[in-house]
Amino acid sequence: MAVSIDLRGRLALITGASGELGRVMARTLAQAGADIAVHYHGNAEKAAALVAELQGMGVRSAAFKADVGSLDEVLTMRDAIFAQLGKPDIVVANAVAQIHPWDSVLDESIEDYESQFRSSVLHNVHLAKAFVPAMKERQRGRYIGINTECTMQMHPTQSAYVSGKRGMDGVLRVLAQEVGPDQITVNQVAPGWTISERYRHEGTSGDEAYVAAVPMRRRGSDQEVANAVAFLASDLASFITGCYLPVCGGNVMPRV
């Protein structure tokens, strides 16, 4: 029997879907047959273009605006998704508030720590409260958080970003324990420094030191990250939960 990723008849919500990685994940899940709820916060134009592209691929899609750091807005988004597309079988928590440049613990602003807490920890808490109850009713579901290799590296100046992502990791591992009996899996994909659309246009000069430390001696691509998400969203991963899956060429390796 041939093995394939078949998401036909499934609805996936992807937060931050209008962003570079989000768009690739949306296309990849749509190629596997999933309908896509496109979440965005600020870029309505990109979201609308993505919806049109996905509809052109033959799947149902619509765009939904929300601040994922606000429970009220996430619940409003939930109601709109339920009304327009149905109840998601797959939730991909991808949105994050970007803070640049990073700074030391002594110099990073309190506002940056608060931003990362809202967009990493509360983001996932809000999505779980909004969408997991419907998964529990059906006794199936896939929840996938997009984490980062930085969570294991904890290099200087990463504290605000890492504090949010490590908090996210804790929330999702506990959630995996709590909803496992309902046949809902909760996993995380942790990309490294990924080549996305912007880097393809601007080039990847200046990454020699990073690449030299990666066992596979290259940077990964957004498509490789999306492939991991598609696998975890599928029935092929039906007995995998509580996983933190690095997609970074071995740059970080969880140990036993």
Please say whether the beta carbons of 229 and 29 come within 8 A. Answer: yes
Closest by Cα among 96, 58, 63, 60 to 80:
63
Question: 161 catalytic, yes or no?
Answer: yes
Distance CA 254, CA 245 (A): 9
Q: How far apart are CA 122 and CA 63, in angstroms?
A: 21
Please tell me the number of Cα atoms within 13 Å of 248 on its side-chain side.
25
Catalytic residue among 40, 113, 143, 161: 161
Instruction: Give the phi and the psi of residue 175 in degrees, each rounded to 5.
Output: -60, -40
Burial class (CB in 10 A: 0-12, 13-18, 19+), 170: exposed
Element (H, E) at 142: strand 141-146
Backbone angles phi, psi at 69, to 5 degrees: -80, 0
CA 208 centroid distance within chain: 27
The maximal CA–CA distance of the chain, rounded, in angstroms, is: 58
Q: How far apart are CA 95 and CA 117, in angstroms?
A: 12
Active site residues: 161
